[in-house]
């Protein structure tokens, strides 16, 4: 008879058609345009580095899960995102083996040894970056490439890869002062467009601000992220850079501050990584401001010209604290007399 | 465009799926050869039978009475003889004591005459409501006479009629509003008289424009200076029909945790319960029939059926021409809060508002994974609870600690599990936490 032919499980019996896979692959898709532009800006090796990084991450994820006896979930796309982000935060002139190392650090140590997706405290890609900066400081801070002239990617193909070192705009300002920066890029606002499009030295995926923002806006439109973290990070970086980034108070260039370095990538694709950011909106705002403050502090006072990577890593473990501070607002508390009654 | 009323926090918008049955008028199902009437139909004490084996009973005759505790009497849904006292399959309790009636195929349906209720006092009306065995026909089945008799220290000023019907698929209340609008409004007047108040708000979701139109007309036709009855249009959002959310939407008042609506001066009744009150008072007809929406791609002929309490699902399936090969899951109630059933022997009770025969494509059976901390469940929860924390604690074997995340305020609406991209069975974890944390 019919008995037992159908399924019995608990409510709700219908589910939204969102899934972890869908979210992750959408994020991957949003990272593709900045990558493509990066290939045009820096040449084909950025693509090679990214592919190496992605393949390493997926492989390390599969191997880690196999070794730890977990279900293999490489198809959910989260390792692909990590792979892309690792590539995005390294200079385009590094050795191709560097991202392999980064992948092991990010996925095996940063993700799986700490409990797997949902339990890792630190953003794996940024952990990898911090690790690579510590182990290969020279490559990570000097293997920059200047943007190619006039779509020179095609003439570039086949030429041997020499890291043509050149300072990133932030390093230039930090090491040689504003005068050297102006000498190379001109005075504001002439360089804004170049910077916004990504026509400047920098990490592989960081420079194309326009496409990063477009990707971020698409994620906002899909409801996968909310405005809280991007706005609080970018807003606080801009405000503090304007206030304290210049020779005198309130003479800094907030636009330059936001367009240089990895602020936009960090704000849209790293600081708001679900697993490592607070889940409460109020907590997210404070968290984003914390990242902004630390970024500007590191930029102005620290040894590195770039700050957002460490700022996010420093704030990551505080996420759960914010979640404990800011609880969702309960519908209505029990009446005092009946408190605790069930 | 006018802005529609709704509750401010949480909620989801599952596909409405009402088109399968929305345009089907209520159809009278033939009386089954046997009816299994569960003695405990609702929250509160079960009934004790007042009939003996082989007794002949008339339609509407009392067959069970509450001896002790909170409850309402039971009536024979059709004329017949008492065949047995036994156990029936039950969607929530596995099995429950019941009375089986062998119906008399030659009996004519009993006819009821209208009578004037105006001269009756509030106490007399209340007694009749109790005597007719009325419980809330939409949800858990709270005895209606208790709701109509709020504690004296909480003065009530507003009656809300719940016509939201926010669960997908179900169209029973909708059809009731289209076909018995005047009776519902009359029922509202009876309730207002019992409560001794004037104001009644009828909340209907915006996806039922026809119901809004008919109910507005019915309310206008019945308008007197004595009663203020008005229809309020609500935004389509699940769980708009939840009592607390509805009260907040329509009055801005928040019912405190573990308190009754009367604590904020409100009494809420479902529109179909109100119709049952009309039947009881004006016609003298006890509650022993239900309008049940039978829907989903797994049934040959979806319908809005008027069925006798005690009708087995199997009889309904036979009456509607059987199931389709796509059938994958059978649910009593809506897809958000209903119970999946494992047996077709389960009989309809006073609180059954739908039986859904869903196909594989209509349900979700994807496996779940670890929480990715997206926070969507926190956003979706209309009660401001922390489903993700409750689930993590239960998984880690610490259900006792979940009270702090509000596990006892959860009414299992399912919004959190609906949105979770990791497909975590959050409601299941919450139920476990409730069971374990109590003991
Ligand atoms: S925790 Fe309970 S009340 Fe909140 S959304 Fe989940 S099921 Fe609904
Ligand atoms: S919706 Fe699911 S994955 Fe997201 S936080 Fe809640 S339980 Fe975790």
**Which residues, at least 6 apart from A197, have a Cβ–Cβ distance to it below 8 Å?**
A37, A208, A209, A210
Least confident of A8-17, B265-274, B295-304: A8-17
pLDDT digits (tens, 9 = 90+) for B275-288: 999 999 999 999 99
Range from A295-304, A330-339, B38-47, B336-345 that averages highest in pLDDT = B336-345
Check if B412 has its Cβ closer than 6 Å to any atom of ligand 1: yes
Q: Do A20 and B422 touch (CB under 8 A)?
A: yes
* pLDDT for B2 beyond 70: no
Assess whether pLDDT exceeds 90 at residue A332: no
Does the bond joining A200 to the residue before it have cis omega, within 30 degrees of 0?
no
Q: Does A274 touch chain B (CB under 8 A)?
A: yes
Cα gap B238→B169, rounded to integer Å: 12
CB spacing of B418 vs A280 below 8 angstroms: no
**Residue-level length of chain A:** 342
Alpha helices of chain A — where are they, by DSSP H? 20-42, 45-67, 78-88, 98-103, 124-135, 137-142, 153-156, 169-185, 192-197, 209-222, 228-244, 254-259, 263-265, 281-301, 308-315, 319-325
Minimum distance, in Å, between the CA of residue B335 and any CA atom of chain A? 5
| Predicted confidence (pLDDT) at residue B433 exceeds the cutoff of 80 | yes
Q: Can you give the pLDDT at residue A166?
A: 61
Token pair in block for residue B402: 């979940």
What are B100's strand-pairing partners? B36, B84
The mean pLDDT value for B4-19 works out to 92
Residues B377 and B385: their CA atoms lie apart, in Å, by 9
Whether A282 shows a pLDDT value over 80: the answer reads yes
Looking at the CA of residue B388, tell me the nearest atom of ligand 2.
7
Q: For residue B421, report the distance from its CA to the centre of ligand 2, in Å.
A: 7
What 3-state DSSP class applies to B148? coil
How far is the CA of A228 from the CAs of B22, B38, B365, B372, in angstroms?
41, 53, 33, 18
Looking at residue B3, its pLDDT comes to 66
- Identify the nearest ligand to the CA of B427 by its number: 1
Asked if B423 lies within 8 A of A22 by C-beta distance, the reply is no
User: What is the pLDDT averaged over residues A11-28?
Assistant: 93
pLDDT band, residue B165 (cuts 50/70/90): very high
Task: Give the chain A residue nearest B264 (alpha carbons).
Answer: A335
Find out whether the beta carbon of B192 lies less than 6 Å from any atom of ligand 1.
no
Q: Answer yes or no: is pLDDT of B44 > 80.
A: no
Asked if residue A272 lies in contact with residue A213, where contact means CB atoms within 8 angstroms, the answer is no
- Please report which helix (H) or strand (E) contains residue B145, including its range: helix B144-147
Place of tokens 């070192």: A165
* pLDDT (mean) for A231-258: 91
Rounded Cα distance, A339 and A341, in Å: 5
| Of the partner residues B378, B412, B418, the one whose CB lies closest to the CB of residue A16 | B418
**A3 pLDDT above the threshold of 50:** no
- At B79, phi and psi to the nearest 5? -70, 145
Find the mean pLDDT for residues B348-360.
Answer: 94
Q: Is A280 on the interface with B (CB under 8 A)?
A: yes
Query: DSSP code of A47?
Result: H
Structure tokens at B334: 């809506």
The stretch A73-89 carries a mean pLDDT of: 94
Which residues is A106 bridged to in the sheet? none
When pLDDT is averaged across residues B69-82 and rounded to a whole number, the result is: 92
Ligand nearest the Cα atom of residue B387: 1
> Which residues of chain A have a CB within 8 Å of the CB of B374?
23, 274, 279
- pLDDT at B410 > cutoff 60: yes
Euclidean distance between the first and final Cα of chain B, in Å? Answer: 51
Percentage of chain A with pLDDT > 90? Answer: 49
CA B386-B391-B396 angle, 5° bins? 130
The pLDDT of residue B364 is 80
Average pLDDT over residues B388-409: 88
Q: What ipTM is given for this predicted complex?
A: 0.88
pLDDT tens column, A91-139: 988 888 999 999 999 999 989 988 888 888 999 999 999 999 989 888 8
Query: Which of A162-171, A258-267, A295-304 reaches the highest mean pLDDT?
Result: A258-267
Give distance in angstroms: CA of A312 to centre of ligand 2. Answer: 22
Binding site membership of B414 for ligand 1 (Cβ less than 6 Å): yes
Q: In what order do the strands lie in the sheet with B289-295?
A: B27-28, B303-308, B289-295, B354-359, B327-332, B339-340
Instruction: Give the pLDDT of residue B293.
Output: 97
Instruction: Express each pLDDT in B219-277 by its tens digit.
Output: 998 877 788 999 999 999 999 999 999 999 999 999 999 898 999 999 999 999 999 99
Residue of B339, B372, B377, B389 for testing the chain A interface, max A β-carbons within 10 Å: B372
Q: How far apart are CA B412 and CA B434, in angstroms?
A: 11
Q: Whose CA is nearest to atom 7 of ligand 2?
A: B388
CB distance A13–B323 less than 8 Å?
no
Interatomic CA distance for residues A239 and A258, integer angstroms: 10
* Closest residue in chain A to residue B317, using alpha carbons only: A2
Closest by CA to B295, choosing from B272, B318, B270, B320, is: B320
- CB-nearest partner of B421 from A23, A116, A341: A23
Question: pLDDT at position B120, please?
Answer: 94
Q: Does A338 touch chain B (CB under 8 A)?
A: yes
Partners of residue A118 in chain B, C-beta under 8 Å = 370-373, 422
Asked if residue B383 has its Cβ within 6 Å of ligand 1, the reply is: yes
- Joined tokens for residue A144: 């920059």
Task: Mark yes or no for CB contact B419/A18 under 8 Å.
Answer: yes
Secondary structure letter of residue B156 according to DSSP: -
């Amino acid at each position: 008879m019919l008995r037992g032919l159908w399924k019995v499980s608990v409510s709700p019996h219908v589910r939204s058609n969102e899934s972890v896979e869908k979210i992750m692959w959408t994020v991957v898709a949003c990272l593709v345009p900045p990558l493509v532009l990066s290939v045009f800006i820096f040449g084909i090796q950025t693509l090679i580095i990214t592919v190496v990084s992605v393949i390493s991450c997926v492989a390390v994820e599969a191997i880690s899960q196999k070794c730890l006896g977990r279900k293999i979930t490489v198809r959910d796309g989260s390792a692909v995102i990590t792979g892309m982000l690792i590539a995005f935060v390294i200079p385009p002139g590094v050795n191709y083996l560097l991202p392999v190392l980064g992948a092991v650090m990010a996925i095996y140590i940063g993700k799986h040894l700490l409990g797997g997706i949902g339990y890792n405290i630190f953003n794996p890609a940024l952990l990898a970056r911090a690790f690579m900066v510590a182990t290969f400081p020279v490559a990570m801070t000097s293997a920059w490439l200047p943007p190619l002239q006039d779509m020179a990617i095609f003439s570039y193909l086949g030429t041997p890869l020499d890291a043509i070192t050149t300072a990133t705009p932030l390093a230039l300002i930090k090491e040689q002062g504003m005068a050297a920066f102006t000498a190379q890029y001109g005075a504001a606002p002439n360089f804004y467009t170049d910077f916004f499009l990504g026509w400047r030295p920098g990490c592989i995926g960081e420079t194309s601000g326009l496409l990063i923002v477009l990707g971020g806006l698409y994620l906002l439109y899909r409801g996968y992220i909310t405005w809280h973290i991007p706005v609080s990070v970018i807003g606080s970086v801009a405000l503090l850079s304007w206030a304290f980034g210049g020779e005198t108070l309130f003479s800094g260039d907030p636009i330059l501050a936001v367009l240089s370095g990895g602020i936009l990538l960090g704000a849209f694709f790293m600081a708001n990584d679900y697993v490592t950011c607070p889940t409460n909106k109020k907590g997210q705002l404070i968290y984003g401001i914390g990242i902004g403050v630390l970024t500007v502090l590191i930029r102005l006072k620290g040894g590195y010209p770039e700050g957002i990577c460490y700022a996010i890593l420093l704030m990551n473990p505080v996420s759960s604290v914010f979640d404990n501070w800011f609880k969702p607002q309960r519908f209505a508390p029990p009446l005092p007399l009946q408190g605790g009654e069930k | 465009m006018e802005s529609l009323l709704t509750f401010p926090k949480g909620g989801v918008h599952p596909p409405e799926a009402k088109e399968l049955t929305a345009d089907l008028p209520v159809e009278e199902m033939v009386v089954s050869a046997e009816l299994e009437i569960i003695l405990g139909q609702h929250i509160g004490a079960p009934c004790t039978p007042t009939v003996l084996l082989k007794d002949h009973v008339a339609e509407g005759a009392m067959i069970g009475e509450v001896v002790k505790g909170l409850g309402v009497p039971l009536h024979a849904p059709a004329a017949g003889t008492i065949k047995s006292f036994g156990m029936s399959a039950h969607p929530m309790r596995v099995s429950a004591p019941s009375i089986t009636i062998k119906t008399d195929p030659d009996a004519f349906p009993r006819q009821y005459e209208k009578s004037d209720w105006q001269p009756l006092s509030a106490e007399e009306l209340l007694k009749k409501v109790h005597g007719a065995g009325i419980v809330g026909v939409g949800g858990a089945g709270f005895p209606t006479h208790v709701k109509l008799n709020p504690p004296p220290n909480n003065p009530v000023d507003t009656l809300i009629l719940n016509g939201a019907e926010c669960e997908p698929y179900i169209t029973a209340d909708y059809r009731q509003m289209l076909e018995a609008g005047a009776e519902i409004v009359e029922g509202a007047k009876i309730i207002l008289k019992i409560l001794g108040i004037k104001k009644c708000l009828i909340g209907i979701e915006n996806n039922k424009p026809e119901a809004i139109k008919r109910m507005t007309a019915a309310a206008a036709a019945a308008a007197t200076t004595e009663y203020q009855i008005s229809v309020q249009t609500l935004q389509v959002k699940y769980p708009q029909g939840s009592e607390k959310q509805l009260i907040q939407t329509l009055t801005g008042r928040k019912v405190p945790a573990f308190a009754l609506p009367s604590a904020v001066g409100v009494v809420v009744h479902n529109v179909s319960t109100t119709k049952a009150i009309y039947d009881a008072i004006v016609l003298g007809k006890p509650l022993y029939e239900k309008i049940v929406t039978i829907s989903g791609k797994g049934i040959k002929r979806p319908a809005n059926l008027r069925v006798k309490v005690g009708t087995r699902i199997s009889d309904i399936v036979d009456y509607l021409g059987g199931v389709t090969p796509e059938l994958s899951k059978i649910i009593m109630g809506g897809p958000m809060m209903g119970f999946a059933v494992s047996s077709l022997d389960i009989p309809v009770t006073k609180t059954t508002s739908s039986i859904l025969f869903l196909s594989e494509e209509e349900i979700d059976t994807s496996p779940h994974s670890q929480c990715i901390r997206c926070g969507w469940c926190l956003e979706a929860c209309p009660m401001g609870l922390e489903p993700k924390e409750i689930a993590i604690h239960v998984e880690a074997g610490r259900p006792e600690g979940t009270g702090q995340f509000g596990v006892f305020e959860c009414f299992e609406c399912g919004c959190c599990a609906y949105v979770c991209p990791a497909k975590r069975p959050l409601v299941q974890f919450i139920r476990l936490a409730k069971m374990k944390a109590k003991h």
